[in-house]
Amino acid sequence: MSYRAPVEDIAFTLKHAAGLGRAIDEGLYGDLTEDVVDAVLAEAGKFASTVIAPLNAVGDKHGTPLKDGKVTMPPGWKEAYTAWAQGGWNGLAGSEEWGGQGLPHALNSACIEMWNSASMAFGIGPVLTMGAIEALERHGAEPLKQKYLTKLTTGEWMGTMQLTEPQAGSDVGALRTKAERNPDGTYRITGSKIFITYGEHDLTDNIIHFVLARLPDAPPGTRGISLFLVPKFFVGDDGKLGARNDARCHSVEHKLGIHGSPTCTMVYGDGGGATGWLIGEENRGLNCMFTMMNNARLAVALQGVAIAERATQQATAYANERKQGRAGGNGAIINHPDVRRMLLTMRALTRAARAICYATGAAIDGEHRGKDAAARKAASERAALLTPIAKAFSTDVGMEVASLGVQVHGGMGFIEETGAAQHYRDARIAPIYEGTNGIQAIDLVTRKIPLGGGAVVRTYLDELRRTVAAVRSANDPAFGSTGTRLADAVDSLERATVWLLDKIEKAPEAALAGATPYLRLFASAAGGCALAEEALAATRLNGSAEAPRRIALARFFAENIAVQAGGLETTVTEGADSVADVALGAA
């Protein structure tokens, strides 16, 4: 089934839940207007729906075969990528200095969602290039920036991000790829990397690899990692491509999903060593990589939203057509209460995840553009707090919603030709890459909620309480028990937060055992409040036909999903012993 970009919904969430409208009014984005935002979204939606979406099944079917060291992308992909890059989409939020458009990250987030709804395998490639741009811009030496940044920003060349090795996945500090100093100031890179997204392809003339490696005298662990820029083809001072570097793709993985995205094993040094250029300082590579990773984490979060949106559209269309049993109305299965519950769950989870992601994008904007140092610091802490929640919750939602999408289709969902099965397969990777969701939950509990001695999370809780109070004082029967249910959810979140802040130091194993259910609890309260905010905003817009729909969805989330917060709180605060006590060993 085709994809229809939900441009109006996206614009509404951007302006009213993520605060883009207010930020524009306050001048955070210079002379940007809401009209420009609407126009950008409409164009992106058109490109995603008409150019990229038709290639999704093609990519799934053809994959990315490797022959004689070359990866061939699926038919039509190179033309689509070239048109996409020439349309300026890669540099939407990039610096104008390097050929970007300098538009908000929040707006770029909305576009990233649409590229990935159209095709996750297509959308993931540029995500890594965007991360590479940010790392190079923030940490790279001037000559490197001059040589590479414009071509990367315009998308003429793509970038990769290379951390993983067989023994170094979540534990990046275990990596062994070697970097040795050359007399001319460059470095000789030898070793290999696995699972490298877009490590080799024919979409662009050059590929710029960002590779983590270890110097011979580096301290062990994460404090001994350096980041290197390793181009596939050397670039002359005149910008022309020269000889091939000693970096090659050894093999391409066969995967469960995203078949159109080449996942490569990369080998450095078959001919004595690849030449790399240091980014940032020696042994400080992980810091530079974190710049890329936060960016990439939000983008992967958006993949979760994207696949959930696409699966919801497809399931809703099918449920309107398929007739079965004694359903009311026209006899279509959409009239069965159980099917309606599935579809509403899909829609509510998708919209909540979208709101959290866009709010994270807006916080990243505030980090860069805030009016003073205090505002920038607050925004940076907000982005830090929300990033693991956005990543883990949204990608879990992507998976759950895609699974419900298959279920709504019944047996046809299991048959490839409907496309529901592809969404389900594609969605499965997002909770794994860019830091598994387990690692995100640990990051939330051990690093993010302790920020500012707990002050950052407390400020956020206060905001959630203000939303709850606003729902209550709206006094609109259409909200049902939304106010009470959300108040309960925020209470649960607050108690679990206090419990964890206490346990992180005193009983870290107990805190870690509760990390994943805590993240879900956090998202249940935050997502419920975000949908309530949207409903309140719609009510404020006089005569908005949006209001009844948005209130109904906020109510559904509060009464059917946010209510799970109490159980999650109990799991966090009382479940740790059972995790520790049960002996697992070999099955």
Ligand X SMILES: Cc1cc2nc3c(=O)[nH]c(=O)nc-3n(C[C@H](O)[C@H](O)[C@H](O)COP(=O)(O)OP(=O)(O)OC[C@H]3O[C@@H](n4cnc5c(N)ncnc54)[C@H](O)[C@@H]3O)c2cc1C
Which helix (H) or strand (E) segment holds residue 533: the answer is: helix 515-540
Determine the residue with CB nearest ligand X: 169
Q: Single out the residue of 436, 484, 560, 570 in contact with ligand X (rule: CB under 6 A).
A: 436
Contact 350, 423 (CB under 8 A): no
Q: Which is nearer to ligand X, 169 or 273 (CB)?
A: 169
Q: Which is nearer to ligand X, 198 or 277 (CB)?
A: 198
Q: Return the beta strands (E) in 155-308 as ranges.
A: 158-162, 178-181, 187-197, 207-213, 226-231, 233-235, 241-244, 247-252, 263-268, 274-279
CB of 487 to ligand X, least distance (A): 33
Q: Which is nearer to ligand X, 198 or 557 (CB)?
A: 198
CB of 277 to ligand X, least distance (A): 19
Q: Single out the residue of 99, 169, 191, 231 in contact with ligand X (rule: CB under 6 A).
A: 169
CB of 462 to ligand X, least distance (A): 31
Q: Which of these segments, 110-118, 282-290, 436-444, 469-477, binds ligand X (CB under 6 A)?
A: 436-444
Half-sphere exposure of 269 (CA within 13 A, CB side): 14
Q: Which of these segments, 163-171, 178-186, 444-452, 550-558, binds ligand X (CB under 6 A)?
A: 163-171
Contact 129, 199 (CB under 8 A): no
Angstrom distance (rounded) from CA 208 to CA 238? 17
Angstrom distance (rounded) from CA 255 to CA 488? 42
Q: Single out the residue of 129, 153, 162, 573 in contact with ligand X (rule: CB under 6 A).
A: 162
195 binds ligand X (CB under 6 A): yes
157 binds ligand X (CB under 6 A): no
Q: Which of these segments, 8-16, 240-248, 431-439, 546-554, binds ligand X (CB under 6 A)?
A: 431-439
CB of 371 to ligand X, least distance (A): 36
Contact 503, 510 (CB under 8 A): yes
Q: Which is nearer to ligand X, 139 or 297 (CB)?
A: 297
DSSP assignment string, 473-513: HH--GGGTTHHHHHHHHHHHHHHHHHHHHHHHHH-HHHHHH
Residue with tokens 């164009």: 43
- Interhelix angle for 373-408 vs 420-427, to 10°? 140
Angstrom distance (rounded) from CA 40 to CA 118? 17
CB of 167 to ligand X, least distance (A): 8
3-state secondary structure of 428: coil
Going 342 to 423 to 363 to 49, the CA torsion angle's sign is negative
- List of residues 6+ apart from 69 with CB closer than 8 A: 200, 248, 249
Nearest Cα residue to 65 out of 268, 253, 258, 256: 253
CB of 321 to ligand X, least distance (A): 33
Counting residues that bind ligand X (by CB under 6 A) gives 19
CB of 304 to ligand X, least distance (A): 15
438 binds ligand X (CB under 6 A): yes
Q: Which of these segments, 3-11, 13-21, 216-224, 430-438, binds ligand X (CB under 6 A)?
A: 430-438
251 binds ligand X (CB under 6 A): no
560 binds ligand X (CB under 6 A): no
Q: Single out the residue of 218, 432, 474, 504 in contact with ligand X (rule: CB under 6 A).
A: 432
Subset of 15-44 contacting ligand X (CB under 6 A): none
CB of 92 to ligand X, least distance (A): 21
126 binds ligand X (CB under 6 A): no
Supply 321's token pair: 């057509």
Q: Single out the residue of 197, 295, 303, 387 in contact with ligand X (rule: CB under 6 A).
A: 197
Angstrom distance (rounded) from CA 295 to CA 255? 25
Q: Single out the residue of 12, 433, 460, 557 in contact with ligand X (rule: CB under 6 A).
A: 433
Residue with tokens 């089934």: 1
Subset of 259-318 contacting ligand X (CB under 6 A): 263
Supply 581's token pair: 């006590």
Residues labelled as active-site residues: 434
- Provide the greatest CA pair distance for the chain: 79
Q: Single out the residue of 57, 144, 344, 439 in contact with ligand X (rule: CB under 6 A).
A: 439
Residue type, 224: G
- ∠ CA 313-315-317, nearest 5°, is 70
Nearest Cα residue to 138 out of 289, 30, 282, 360: 289
Q: Which is nearer to ligand X, 297 or 347 (CB)?
A: 297
Angstrom distance (rounded) from CA 189 to CA 278? 11
Q: Which of these segments, 161-169, 230-238, 341-349, 396-404, binds ligand X (CB under 6 A)?
A: 161-169
213 binds ligand X (CB under 6 A): no
| Gyration radius (Cα) of the chain, Å | 24
Residue with tokens 């996206």: 10
Q: Which is nearer to ligand X, 20 or 390 (CB)?
A: 390
Q: Which is nearer to ligand X, 206 or 436 (CB)?
A: 436
Q: Which of these segments, 72-80, 110-118, 274-282, 438-446, binds ligand X (CB under 6 A)?
A: 438-446
- List of residues 6+ apart from 31 with CB closer than 8 A: none
Q: Which is nearer to ligand X, 264 or 343 (CB)?
A: 264
Q: Which is nearer to ligand X, 163 or 311 (CB)?
A: 163
Q: Which is nearer to ligand X, 193 or 550 (CB)?
A: 193
CB of 207 to ligand X, least distance (A): 12
Nearest Cα residue to 389 out of 464, 432, 445, 462: 445
Residue type, 22: R
Supply 554's token pair: 């906020």
CB of 159 to ligand X, least distance (A): 10
164 binds ligand X (CB under 6 A): yes
- Residues lying near ligand X in the complex (CB under 6 A) are found at 161-164, 169-170, 195-197, 255, 263, 429, 432-433, 435-436, 438-439, 442
